[in-house]
Structure 1
């Protein structure tokens, strides 16, 4: 297990000493002086680490580039209630007449404990606080912080600074700023390290979890069935080559079994948001494919879940992918990867299928059909004939499903009064994005 520790130079020796007895973990220490140093060392080493451990909230927030998220478990050292009150008690013993209203706290937003402490004080006794780190320029936050402390002291508003920024202490001493440094205890650091190590172990187990895929297809020409099967098999092997052979593909008489692990599946499906395998198979091919993925506590459970997920796709009579996880959570329908998420895909991302079923009082099958139709065309409105055509069902069945969806609030209806057509206006069905 390789864990990166990102911390100021001043803290290096202390943290190394505290974590010295973790023999089963390889801690890699990356000391920095500026935010630019932190960003550079994080980007250079992030891919080789199993987790990221930061000295504080500031480092945790500023290590990432714009729009980036942590791909692996990331933690930071957060002050505990005991740490805060132990230090505060010691300060008040040494300075019994200290006026908290003339104190500036630069780590207020780091902990609910500190926020609660401040908010429970009478308004006229509350210290000055920085509510949000964005009040500073993030690229030069240490210098900005020092200037802000210096300004408050120079204006006569405060007598003391309470700080967590160890990189500022030398400047505080040089500028004659009165301060107390609130340090996180050894016990809190060890507790946080233990939580992170457990999270990494769980992440490893989850990433290596067995995943089973079950792929079927619809093809009516029996005389060409064998050649069609061979062509699909060839495409699967070609896809696997591009995946660097991370899939084990077994061909049966009229279906394919695919074995891999959860980490590969998450990569293939963009964290369960889309599926690029079906578009790869159906390129220049009108064959309807049904792909079910299953995870489980063992291989048999994963296999059963995959077949159940595939049957759900088959009920839609349209190419789609579903994933059935070991906790019975159903993810889908997934279609081709899209740059812009459709309202249907957003709905599936934001609300679980179980929640939708309970809220709408509709069967999973009918909810799937409605969402799949809207996802297929990436439109906000459909006619009943569009719906029937997309799902390859009769107009009567389409009207019945859409009527139920309207009655339960999954879709709303509006009339087409702008087309200029004579007679009764067409009905457009609109996905109810309010469910988000």
Structure 2
């Protein structure tokens, strides 16, 4: 069950308790009350690690902001919104039918920007607003200011957002009304928190496997440093994980490495599927090339299969990093422009074509994407290089492969200038020999 810690003023606990009854079957609430503002920061720092989320009142949030506390888990705050404010204002206007707003003071202007108090006053009237710094003597100073305004005759009614001073105002003969977040408003915040925590838990529960391979790991006569290369990679992986505070299980296999992590970590590593910072870091620190395939799934076996397929495709296409998502979509991170490719299960025709021609389906999809983008199937190596973000050399290799399969046909050579080598154009038709 979701565990939520609640930080609330001692006198305001009763405002939040009704919410607990409505959420009994969905989350477990633990309450932490404070009487002094200096108690808020220690309460948060000493307890947040034991909860999935923290909810607090608006003042507690303001205190932590002023203390430069950075929230490490989902953390939300509640306060009176416009609906609560105007509903209470209507109640006040009924209770005090002859109320003169020029003799009313408010003490929460610094804690919400939602309410336009100037609308309550005539153009030549000035609102009595209480502005105070957030210190440990906040409540005492606030109480003193309300009493001072009332006893001076400037104010006849105090409207406060802080229940801690309400009884003391009454003891001093000050007419006061409390405006706080309604149960409905507080419940809406808890609903939002529960949804966020569930989404976070779902994201973190999705398994991710990474498969890292390199020719430099395979023992050969000409490669006498296979073990050293594997050791260098393992060190680099551990350093990357430690530097970025990631949870990664790194397992050395016979001629490859397996990384076990979560989708949350993968989103960080790839900057939300835009750029693989892990492969970039490894390539920058190691002298040999690598191929990394990521597999995303609900269980480790499916994630491992996807990682294997992604790594195989990455090797075939000579790209450094490839992801197969939970829904089977390929994401190639090697191109200058992020390319999303269709799911394998959604493209049975392409799958048959891939098997017929003995060409990778990812390979076919990438070329079809270029044809669609350029609106022509007559392409040069420069066209393919530009749109796939690869070198001319890699592009020529692709075209030569397609030509050898009978898919690409050299149709003409074009001289851009009178001098220099002619530019080759190929006509590409994947269905030419697919009859």
Report the secondary structure of 1:46's partner residue: helix
Report the secondary structure of 2:76's partner residue: strand
Structure 2 residue 93 is the aligned partner of structure 1 residue 96: no
1:196 Cα deviation from its structure 2 partner? 1.7
Q: Deviations over 1:357-405 (max 9, x none)?
A: xxxx9x9x98999xxxxxxxxxxxxxxxxxxxxx9999xxxxxxxxxxx
Structure 1 residue aligned with 2:231:
231
Report the secondary structure of 1:19's partner residue: helix
Structure 2 residue 177 is the aligned partner of structure 1 residue 180: yes
Distance 1:104 1:309 in 2: 68
Structure 2 residue aligned with 1:344:
none
Q: Deviations over 1:286-334 (max 9, x none)?
A: 34556565656787689869987999999999x9x8989879999999x
| Rg (Cα) greater in structure | 2
TM value normalised by structure 1? 0.59
Structure 1 residue aligned with 2:5:
4
1:86 Cα deviation from its structure 2 partner? 2.5
1:20 Cα deviation from its structure 2 partner? 3.0
Structure 2 residue 85 is the aligned partner of structure 1 residue 84: yes
Q: How does 1:357-368 map to 2 (within 5 A)?
A: none
Distance 1:309 1:155 in 2: 78
Structure 2 residue aligned with 1:194:
191
1:172 Cα deviation from its structure 2 partner? 2.1
Q: 1:9 and 1:301, CA in 2 relative to 1: closer, same or farther beyond 3 A?
A: same
Structure 2 residue aligned with 1:372:
none
Q: 1:146 aligns with which of 131, 137, 143?
A: 143
Q: 1:43 and 1:274, CA in 2 relative to 1: closer, same or farther beyond 3 A?
A: farther
Q: 1:30 and 1:252, CA in 2 relative to 1: closer, same or farther beyond 3 A?
A: same
Contact 1:247 1:259 in 2 (8 A): yes
Contact 1:8 1:31 in 2 (8 A): yes
Distance 1:37 1:252 in 2: 55
Distance 1:69 1:183 in 2: 26
Report the secondary structure of 1:20's partner residue: helix
Distance 2:112 2:332 in 1: 35
Distance 2:81 2:113 in 1: 10
Q: Deviations over 1:170-220 (max 9, x none)?
A: 332344333211133223322322222222111211222222324345759
Q: How does 1:330-341 map to 2 (within 5 A)?
A: none
Report the secondary structure of 1:183's partner residue: coil
Structure 2 residue aligned with 1:168:
165
Structure 2 residue aligned with 1:42:
44
Q: 1:214 and 1:100, CA in 2 relative to 1: closer, same or farther beyond 3 A?
A: farther
Q: 1:314 and 1:10, CA in 2 relative to 1: closer, same or farther beyond 3 A?
A: farther
1:17 Cα deviation from its structure 2 partner? 4.4
Q: Gapped runs of 5+ residues in structure 1?
A: 334-351, 355-360, 370-390, 395-436
Q: 1:58 and 1:368, CA in 2 relative to 1: closer, same or farther beyond 3 A?
A: farther
Distance 2:239 2:226 in 1: 20
Q: Gapped runs of 5+ residues in structure 2?
A: 341-372, 374-382, 394-435
1:52 Cα deviation from its structure 2 partner? 0.7
Contact 1:309 1:324 in 2 (8 A): no
Distance 1:202 1:109 in 2: 33
Report the secondary structure of 2:155's partner residue: coil
Structure 2 residue 223 is the aligned partner of structure 1 residue 215: no
Distance 1:238 1:207 in 2: 21
Q: Which shifted more, 260-269 or 65-74?
A: 260-269
Structure 2 residue aligned with 1:31:
33
Q: Deviations over 1:46-73 (max 9, x none)?
A: 111111111x211112135744321111
Question: How many equivalent pairs are there?
Answer: 344
Report the secondary structure of 1:71's partner residue: coil
Contact 2:105 2:128 in 1 (8 A): yes
1:273 Cα deviation from its structure 2 partner? 12
